[in-house]
Amino acid sequence: MNKILAVCFLICIIGMTTSCSDESEHDIVGVWLLTTRTVDIPFDVNQDGESNTNLTKEIDCNKEETLTFKNNGSVFSGNEFSNPLQYYKEDTTNVYRINSDCNTEGIISFASEYNITDEDTIKISDRVYVLQQNTLTTVYKNAVDIYNEDFTEVLETKDLTLVYTKQ
């Protein structure tokens, strides 16, 4: 009888330890800063002579875009309001370009609920975010239209990938 109680006690201790470590490993609560915005095409928008696939390094818009997760299951964002980016491909050179018009005077945000659907998957509304250590990634499939130079025809579409890093 004592052996059975000792085994049950040991199982309970192991179960509590495992659940506590899982909770801290996958802690989504806190502030996450957008650190990567990519369509997997290198751009030199800031014309510094270096092309980069990460648009946060090329464009001064949305430098403070964040997601803030609360213990109560709510999440809200905060970032500067900016006009949509216009992607195009030059007709004669086949070089990809972006028209960007930043408006950093206003703030746009949203609030929603989030659900942890797997140990590494967070769902906000219908959007899936994948949690890997201190990064949170979501992909918008075919979200970016690449136009011809006079914006009369969509030449191709690209996925938009956003990566947030926990602060």
Q: What is the pLDDT of residue 10?
A: 35
Note the pTM of the prediction, 2 decimals.
0.79
Q: What is the pLDDT of residue 20?
A: 38
Domain ranges of the chain: 27-166
The C-alpha atoms of residue 33 and residue 135 are separated, in whole angstroms, by 9
In the CATH scheme, what is the code of domain 27-166? 2.40.128
Residue pair 164/132 in contact (Cβ under 8 Å)? The answer is no
Please state, as a whole number, how many other Cβ atoms lie within 10 Å of the Cβ of residue 164.
Answer: 22
Task: Give the H or E element holding residue 17.
Answer: helix 2-25
Beta strands in 70-134 (DSSP E): 74-82, 86-89, 96-99, 102-108, 111-118, 121-124, 127-132
Q: What is the pLDDT of residue 65?
A: 87
Quick: pLDDT tens for 23-61: 334 589 999 999 999 999 999 988 899 999 999 898 876
Report which listed range, 10-19, 76-85, 144-153, is most confident. 144-153
Quick: pLDDT tens for 106-147: 667 889 999 999 889 999 998 999 999 899 999 999 999 999
Q: What is the pLDDT of residue 37?
A: 93
**Nearest partner of 128 among 137, 73, 142, 34, judged by Cα:** 137
Q: What is the pLDDT of residue 82?
A: 63
Residue 7 DSSP code: H
Residue matched to tokens 């009369």 = 152
